[in-house]
């Protein structure tokens, strides 16, 4: 899978135009076939952009990540991916803890009551130390 990051629709359009021409050259298309191929490629790309509300993602986050991958048949698929977290929001350390049934039950009940993930509850408790 390949991830492409765009900060504007214009940047995306430039990439699509370049990619369409690259593919057309590989297929040795010329004249009307070339222009039809480029137009069709561009139309499909623009449809994907609209369907995945990429403009809204750019407004919200300042960028959009497009993931490109191949399916079982080998055809490429394109879709908007989940934005990557900034380094400041990533968790770099993992801790594994063994708990007895009573302690585990207490923890899971607390999480259900407060609508928290187990990891989030543990991080909050550690911060209170």
pLDDT in tens, 65-104: 887 765 545 555 555 566 666 666 677 788 889 999 999 9
Same domain? For 32 and 8 the reply is: yes
My answer on whether 73 and 113 are in the same domain is no
The confidence score (pLDDT) of residue 82 equals 66
Residue bearing the bigger pLDDT, 34 or 70: 34
82/99 same-domain check: no
Structural domain count of the chain? 2
57 and 21, same structural domain?
yes
Is the same domain home to 52 and 115?
A: no
Verify that 62 and 11 share a domain, yes or no: yes
Between 79 and 13, whose confidence is greater? 13
What percent of the chain has a predicted confidence (pLDDT) above 90?
A: 25
Same-domain check for residues 15 and 78: yes
Same domain membership, residue 118 and residue 82: no
pLDDT of amino acid 105: 95
| 78 in the same domain as 24 | yes
Asked if the model's pLDDT at residue 128 lies above 90, the reply is yes
Specify the pLDDT at position 71. 52
**CA-based end-to-end distance of the chain:** 42
CB-based contacts of 80: which residues, under 8 Å, 6+ apart? 52, 53, 54, 57, 64, 65, 66, 67
Please check whether residue 81 is in contact with residue 67, taking contact to mean a CB–CB distance below 8 angstroms: yes
Q: Strand (E) positions, the chain?
A: 2-6, 64-70, 76-80
Structural domain range at position 60: 2-86
pTM of the complete model: 0.51
């Amino acid at each position: 899978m390949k991830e492409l990051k765009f900060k504007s629709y214009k940047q995306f359009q430039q990439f699509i135009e370049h990619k369409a021409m690259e593919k057309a050259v590989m297929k040795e298309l010329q004249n009307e076939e070339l222009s039809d191929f480029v137009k069709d490629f561009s139309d499909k790309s623009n449809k994907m952009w609209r369907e995945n509300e990429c403009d809204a993602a750019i407004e919200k986050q300042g960028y959009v990540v497009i993931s490109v991958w191949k399916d079982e048949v080998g055809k490429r698929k394109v879709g908007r991916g989940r934005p990557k977290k900034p380094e400041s929001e990533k968790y770099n350390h993992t801790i594994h803890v063994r708990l007895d049934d009573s302690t585990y039950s207490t923890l899971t009940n607390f999480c259900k009551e407060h609508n928290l993930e187990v990891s989030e509850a543990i991080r909050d408790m550690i911060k209170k130390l």
